[in-house]
Amino acid sequence: MKSNYVFIKKLKKQDCQRLFRLILLLLYISNINNIITAQDTTEIPFVNKNTNKEILEITKAIIGLGWIEFKEEKKINPYTIFQSYKSAFGLSQNDDMELFKIKEDKLGFTHYHYQQLYKGIKVKGGEYIVHSRNGITLRANGKIVENLSIDIIPSIDKKTALNFILNKINAVQYMWDNNLEEKNLKKNKNDNNATNYPNTELVIICISDNFNISPKYFRLVYKFNINVKNPYNSYWVYVNAHSGEVLKQVSSILYDCSTGTCATSYYGSRSFTTKHRGFPNYDYILRDECRGDGIHTFINGNNVDDVDNQWSLPEERPATTTHWAMQMTFDYFLNSHGRSSFNGNDKEIKCDTKVQVNGSDFNAGFVYDDEYFKFGQANGDDGYNSLDVVGHEFTHGVNKFEANLDVTGESSALSESFGDIFGEMVEFYTLGNNNFIHASEI
């Protein structure tokens, strides 16, 4: 929804980080009662329980179910935090946290990325990031899957699991059966032992669509990478290591993206990502398959196509501007806050443009239940889709998944204000400047 002004001062980069943490705190506080009443207490992470005296001794604040702030005077070592305070995080003797990445930022913080292991096997989605400065842990955030009880000895072998997959996919030909593909792979990798034959690993995954961390939703699986020659595709396939059931099959082709150029409504000519369609279309559509599970933009529910990926027609601008602005919004949240898509888990982003309600132009909105975005037309061939507007609506999606804010009363007011703030952050991230006046371009 449109608001006239954003009543916040111009912020330095450090202030933006603090502001983001403050907004997360407000989101969690606004919904903490709902969280507590909606979940059985056994599913609340152990770090959140007021009976966890060990974690209370070393923390200043525990924000909702995600963020922990530590007492600086405790001088907790980010390298040994999960060894020194293993039980405080709800880890059992079968659990370990493995450090797999260290990243330093320009603000002087160092971020330590940890992966949960259960009896030495990776628990997909069980990760923590420990944030430190000058070698002292200040904050941490993440998820740990507690109380796992899984038999890690597979009931079926890898070959049997692979046969289940091949019977399901039923391809005409696989890459490893094609001599030319095998030869090219060996040449490209400069490795005579390289092959397209599926490699596999044992992992533990969640079968719940919304990543419910209750241990009952976790299974031991074989993860295979299957490369198909005909019809061409590549998949990550997860097979239950005890029953042989194919639990998930996800396309792993993340590079089917084309770079086009569009004339935007308010920001001149911009490069953006589209999708090339082969036979029988041989054209480009407004779909980005390189960000999360995709960004797909329509005009009144229909695909928009272009033959040369140079999008310049006035009637295309509401869609092309929205598509580019949503890509910039996605990049801001991912690069600044580590959040992939509005649900934080790569959810596909669908945008409809030139929307009208009862024959009148609509401005912009996030459809709460169906989880898609819609943008109306403005100023003739332009759209209601400036960077801050698109960022604003995207933030409504973030608010839903972080705090499930209601769309009425004080919750709605909070959601609108957060949308205004992050809309301006998207604008500043993309352009390097902003005027803190919402939708001023329109």
Each residue of 387-442: pLDDT tens digit? 999 999 999 999 988 877 777 788 888 889 999 999 999 999 999 998 888 888 88
Q: Are 301 and 357 in contact (CB under 8 A)?
A: no
The CATH fold of domain 40-142: Nuclear Transport Factor 2; Chain: A, (3.10.450)
Strand, helix or coil for residue 174: strand
Q: The domain 258-431: what is its CATH number?
A: 3.10.170.10
> DSSP secondary structure string, 312-377?
--GGGHHHHHHHHHHHHHHHHHHHHH---STTSS---EEEEEEEEETTEE--EEEETTTTEEEEEE
The ranges of the chain annotated as CATH 3.10.170.10 are: 258-431
| Domain at 158-251: CATH architecture | Roll (3.10)
Whole-model pTM above 0.85?
A: no
Name the more confident of 266 and 356.
Answer: 266
The ranges of the chain annotated as CATH 3.10.450 are: 40-142, 158-251
Lowest mean pLDDT among 98-102, 260-264, 380-384: 380-384
pLDDT in tens, 9-62: 344 545 555 555 556 555 544 443 333 333 333 467 888 888 899 999 999 988
Q: Which two tokens stand for residue 433?
A: 């400047």
Radius of gyration from C-alpha coordinates of the chain: 24
pLDDT in tens, 218-246: 999 999 999 898 887 888 899 999 999 99
Residue 66 pLDDT > 70: no
- The model's confidence at residue 65, banded by pLDDT at 50, 70 and 90, is low
Strand, helix or coil for residue 244: coil
Q: What is the pLDDT of residue 25?
A: 52
Q: What is the distance between the alpha carbons of residues 161 and 71, in angstroms, rounded to a whole number?
A: 48
Q: What is the distance between the alpha carbons of residues 6 and 319, in angstroms, rounded to a whole number?
A: 26
